[in-house]
Chain A
Amino acid sequence: MAAAAPQKIKTNKLGEAVLNILNGKVGAIVAQAMLDKQCTAIGVSPASLRKDHLEPLAQRIEHVLIIFGHDGKESGNRIRALKEISL
């Protein structure tokens, strides 16, 4: 059975930037589910993500990406680097 088309989660600009990093690794469906789940785990929503959330979020994403066969560190560092970008 094919998966249903992903229902877009609500994000702010920072959430959208993280989503773009994840999209390239795991595809749109998993990226959205992952961002939603990992934001919830650190007590925030993808629509209210702030720069001070990036470090705990990067750590969680590094941890979970490994099971998908990816080097979590690379994505984690790209998420951390968003701190320096003006969005």
Chain B
Amino acid sequence: MKRCKGCGVPDIVGRDQKWSSDGTIPITGDQTFRMGIIEVPVIRAIASRLESIVGPAIHNMFMEGKRKYARHYIDTLLKGPLGFLVRHSSSGGKKAYQTLLQTATALGYGHVNLEVYERKARVGGTIHYPYYTPLFVGDVRGAFESIEKLPSKGSWEEHGDTAKLEVVKGEGEDKLEKRFVYDEKSHLPGSLKYTPCKECGLPMELTRFKWDLEKGTITDTRAEERVFIVGLNDFNSVFVELEEAIGDTVPTAVQEVNREHGLALVKKRVVTGYGDLVRGAGLKGLAYTIFEGRSDQVKLTFKNPFNKHYLVGRALGVFEGLEGVKGEATVKESPGILDLTIKGRGV
């Protein structure tokens, strides 16, 4: 897999994603579809906390959300003659999976060996260093459904740093087809500026991330933690469905995990001021953020915000770390905007 000589980012990442001035990372070919950079420990902590509330069903929910996103993403990539070739030539299907798995490696999902492929019936293999296995199985199911144009079922078995996965043709009515749907939000302009790489034009700020293409991992060298690049809509779809089913428990868990993570980033001195939070949210495709500090409070305006509870939690953790007191959040929402004011609790 080729990398840019200027910034070291795999070519495939710059080809399929665009870092926009409005705090989003849309995919090439579909401006409405957002990608984002998420920390692996955060998604694992959210999944683990939700598992303690909801039970193991949470992993299937994440797989379902991801399946829809992956199918949409691959349908976008396989438009026109390329899609026809992949779906109808004798070797096109297997090659398409291999190419897509290379993309997965570049997005930080781990490294996959494709071991079984039976056209229109079965795909299987071993994932090394999976970021979060249910999401990876959702990816492969999405690929299967896009390439084979058939419904799918997926299963996996984890063994330490590897996992065996299998996706097979599904049968009967898919009761979840109309669930975990995209939540399209209003889109507002922004004026984020990055230093462009002279070779590929991607933000040079991405050099803080190191790609290990053998393992399929991306490391944020400032935070010393693994991250991955993912469609944000599928996360939101899981949170939205769960909130509709069981109420505040889920948003509270998402917010709390992010508060703890924001606080940890300050303690590790990865975040040393609100500017780091603002720039980090933009570079990770989570929001275009405007910061306004006052003597008694902090005001953050997130335009094009990814999940409200995720951002509020992260901001509360950073506030707590920087100010040394717990924060109290007041949130106002309007289309495409999340206004957050944080005051010290009891101050």
Contacts and interface: CB of A to CB of B under 8 A. Distances in A.
A30 B175 CA distance: 21
A68 B244 CA distance: 12
A29 B252 CA distance: 15
A85 interface: no
A67 interface: yes
Interface in B164-194: 175-176, 179-180
A1 to B, nearest CB: 6
Given A3-B52, A3-B53, A26-B55, A69 B60 contact: yes
Interface string B53-91: 111010011001000000000000000000000000000
A38 to B, nearest CB: 8
A33 interface: yes
B153 to A, nearest CB: 12
B52 A37 contact: no
Interface string A16-51: 000000000011011001101100100000000000
B244 A30 contact: no
B49 A1 contact: yes
B291 to A, nearest CB: 31
B151 to A, nearest CB: 16
A32 to B, nearest CB: 9
B52 A33 contact: no
A68 B60 CA distance: 8
Contact of B57 (A29, A37, A40, A68): A68
Interface string B208-245: 00000000000000000000000000000000011011
A64 interface: yes
Contacts of A66: 175-176, 179
B52 A67 contact: no
Given A29-B53, A30-B55, A67 B242 contact: yes
7 contacts: A27-B55, A33-B246, A64-B244, A66-B176, A67-B176, A67-B242, A69-B57
Interface of A: 1-3, 26-27, 29-30, 33-34, 36-37, 40, 64, 66-69
The 6 closest A-B pairs by CB, nearest first: A64-B245, A37-B247, A33-B246, A3-B52, A68-B57, A3-B53
Given A3-B53, A37-B246, A67-B61, 9 more contacts: A1-B49, A2-B52, A26-B57, A34-B245, A37-B244, A66-B179, A67-B180, A67-B241, A68-B245
